[in-house]
Amino acid sequence: MPLDPTKHADWEIAEEAESRMKTVYQLGEELGLEKEELLPYGHYVAKLDYQKILNRLKDRPDGKYIDVTAITPTPLGEGKSTSLVGLVQGMGKRGKNVIAAIRQPSGGPTMNVKGSAAGGGLAQCIPLTEFSLGLTGDINAVMNAHNLAMVALTSRMQHEFNYSDKFLAKMGLRRLDIDPRNVEMKWVMDFCAQALRNITIGRGGRQDGFMMDSGFAIAVSSEVMAILSVATDLKDMRERMSRIVVAYDKKGNPITTADLEVDGAMTAWMVQAIKPNLMQTLEGQPCLVHAGPFANIAIGQNSIIEDRVGLKLGDYLCTESGFAADIGFEKFWNLKCRISGLKPHCAVLVATIRALKCHGGAPIPIPGQPLDPGYSQENVEWVEKGCENLVHLINVIKKSGMSPVVCINAFYTDTENEIKAVRRIAEAAGARVALSKHWQYGGEGALELADAVIEACEDKNEFKFLYELSEPLGQRIYKVATEVYGADGVDYSADAMAKLKRMEADPDISSMGVCMVKTHLSLSDNPNLKGVPKGWRLFVRDILTFKGAGFVVPVAGTINLMPGTGSNPAYRRIDVDVETGKVKGLF
């Protein structure tokens, strides 16, 4: 019997379950994989040779495609990954050939307040330690590939500053005349390190580099990570890698990784990382893990390759979109599905009573601090008021042509009256509703959700995008802001407006997709505005160009690409049993 999640920590539940895990060889056999398609990393984790699998199964029909998203969360997160794993376990209990497809967790949140993204309670992806601490090295490869571009840029700037055109020509180089005040990229690392957001590099002497302002972003916000998410194969990745804009010259022309002759070496770091990882749920269903971008500062999707593999191997594939439906689902809908050509059959919108109370007037939770007692006491009024956020996001999903299944991710402190209120309001908005107790009971607790999703997958929907790429870039940004976020309009800083005008005049850039950067804690660009804010305008302070990934990236509000570590981070409670080598304290 599994451990009781009301009495045991997630890492204890995972450790106990790991004693009964299937080996990757068993998982591979159940999936119908051939021997050379499975690339083991130990006994319980493997990479998959996606190209061999897709070539062999090219004529097999795809399974049903299910996206799991959520309402606007509290700062503590609301169990979207847990709900996805619980759904897969519930569908497994119904005898379905179902596969989970999730993202790899970043070391930043794992060591900070939020913790890992393995799920929780009796709905987790295991083995937990491997999942949470680096897995097969994909994020490390992203960091190395990205930072190699910065090495190429900064060393080139140093050499151009120190040497004449004649000397550069002898080395086979042409002067790029890079503008140090117009560098697009920063360095990356996979921790939340606010002290590195703004730094000065190149201090010292002539041989210590070119002195200029620089900084760090978190690794999962890297354009290399975005490329890992959207690339369709290694050839596509190689072509995208060459288009990354690193900086601009003094005339305003872009300097790419191809100009720096570093694109091939960057791709070399990614040869193994492009292959999806195979793990399992607590109840033994296959779980694919690949890519790890955040939805508030990046595309927020696991990889297209992972989804394509899962749709060929399973009759149902449950994939995830980061954070809430206004950012994660919106990017799944208008970016990922546009690039992949895949059309979803169902969207699951995860809600918790706790988050609804937050949107309905309860004190906003502070990470690392105890929850206000109101969150564990019945307050139907807060829940009903908070359902305005739920209904807004139901309507956002409906704009795609689908009607969502609302998953009430149950906490044992929820009351019957609060749950009834959510059912009544969500059903009135035209959504199916299912209560799921997967956290406490695993797959058995998710049967109502599983049944609702299986039924929804048979609905006919007319999936359509919010905008066409032929529309002006500014108009597409306006549509996302007004029709998805509920803004009254869009305002731009002077720099952002100048960039927008240049981009709209460049046909190579103006037709790229829109990947918004915005807080995940509000529909607006202000994290403190809960529910469905009214009478506000989206403020775009910058626009980045991810030419390799194929995105224009408007940056809204005050959000930062390098999160900060809180005062009570998770690493304070993580340790190792020196006798067994087992890691404890992960959650």
Q: What is the pTM of this model?
A: 0.95
Residues 309 and 438 in one domain: yes
Q: Which of 47, 80, 96, 541 is catalytic?
A: 80
Is residue 170 pLDDT above 80, yes or no? yes
| Buried-exposed string 458-471: b where 16+ CB fall within 10 A, e elsewhere | eeebeeeebbeeee
- Domain assignment of residue 579, yes or no: no
Q: Is 414 helix (H, G, I), strand (E, B) or coil?
A: coil
Quick: pLDDT tens for 338-373.
Answer: 999 999 999 999 999 999 999 999 998 887 778 899
Q: Which of 161, 411, 463, 465 is catalytic?
A: 411
Residue 587's pLDDT is what?
81
Say whether 82 is catalytic. yes
> Both tokens of residue 350?
């995860």
Residues 283 and 420 in one domain: yes
Say whether 411 is catalytic. yes
Say whether 323 is catalytic. yes
- Domain assignment of residue 563, yes or no: no
Q: Which of 74, 82, 281, 352 is catalytic?
A: 82
In the chain, the number of structural domains is 3
Strands 513-514 and 551-556: parallel
- Residues sharing a CB contact under 8 Å with residue 348, sequence separation 6 or more, in sequence order: 66, 67, 68, 69, 83, 84, 87, 318, 404, 405, 406, 407, 449, 453
Residues 310 and 239 in one domain: no
CATH code of the domain containing 164: 3.30.1510.10
CATH code of the domain containing 512: 3.10.410.10
- Domain assignment of residue 426, yes or no: yes
Domain that holds residue 530: 473-556
Is residue 497 pLDDT above 90, yes or no? yes
Residue 118's pLDDT is what?
83
Residue 122's pLDDT is what?
96
- Residues sharing a CB contact under 8 Å with residue 95, sequence separation 6 or more, in sequence order: none
pLDDT tier at 1 (50, 70, 90 boundaries)?
Answer: confident
Which residue in 24, 2, 19, 75 sits closest to 566, CA to CA? 75
- Domain assignment of residue 465, yes or no: no
For the segment 201-212, the average pLDDT, to the nearest whole number, is: 92
Residue 567's pLDDT is what?
86
Which residue in 450, 445, 545, 559 sits closest to 500, CA to CA? 545
Residue 559's pLDDT is what?
85
| Buried-exposed string 352-389: b where 16+ CB fall within 10 A, e elsewhere | bbbbbbbbbebeebbeeeebeeebbeebbebbbbbbbb
Segment among 300-309, 395-404, 551-560 with least mean pLDDT: 551-560
Is residue 65 pLDDT above 80, yes or no? yes
Residues 132 and 142 in one domain: no
Residues 132 and 148 in one domain: no
| Torsion of the alpha carbons at 173, 176, 180 and 186, rounded to the nearest 10 | -70
Q: Which of 47, 103, 240, 243 is catalytic?
A: 103
- Domain boundary among the residues 266, 294, 323 is at 266
What DSSP line would sit under 438-451, residue for residue? HHHHGGGGGHHHHH
pLDDT tier at 384 (50, 70, 90 boundaries)?
Answer: very high
- Domain assignment of residue 562, yes or no: no
Quick: pLDDT tens for 265-295.
Answer: 999 999 999 999 999 999 999 999 999 888 8
Q: Is 418 helix (H, G, I), strand (E, B) or coil?
A: helix
- Domain assignment of residue 576, yes or no: no
Residue 219's pLDDT is what?
95
- Domain assignment of residue 467, yes or no: no
- Domain boundary among the residues 232, 266, 300 is at 266
Say whether 439 is catalytic. yes
Quick: pLDDT tens for 306-317.
Answer: 999 999 999 999
Residues 324 and 431 in one domain: yes
Is residue 429 pLDDT above 90, yes or no? yes
For the segment 324-334, the average pLDDT, to the nearest whole number, is: 96
Residues 159 and 59 in one domain: no
Residue 26's pLDDT is what?
98
Residues 411 and 301 in one domain: yes
Residues 423 and 299 in one domain: yes
Q: Which of 145, 295, 434, 450 is catalytic?
A: 295
Rounded mean pLDDT of the chain? 95
- Domain assignment of residue 565, yes or no: no
Residues 386 and 404 in one domain: yes
Residue 281's pLDDT is what?
98
Quick: pLDDT tens for 128-147.
Answer: 999 999 999 999 999 999 99
Q: Which of 64, 114, 308, 331 is catalytic?
A: 114
Residues 372 and 448 in one domain: yes
Q: Tell me which H or E stretch contains 575.
A: strand 575-576
Sign of CA dihedral 168, 173, 178, 184: negative
Is residue 182 pLDDT above 90, yes or no? yes
Helices then strands (H, E): number in the chain?
22, 25
pLDDT tier at 115 (50, 70, 90 boundaries)?
Answer: confident
* Cα angle 98-100-105, degrees, rounded to a multiple of 5: 170
Higher pLDDT, 368 or 425: 425
What DSSP line would sit under 246-264, residue for residue? EEEETTS-EEETTTTT-HH
Residues 155 and 120 in one domain: no
> Both tokens of residue 328?
């994660």
pLDDT tier at 197 (50, 70, 90 boundaries)?
Answer: very high
- Domain boundary among the residues 234, 266, 298 is at 266
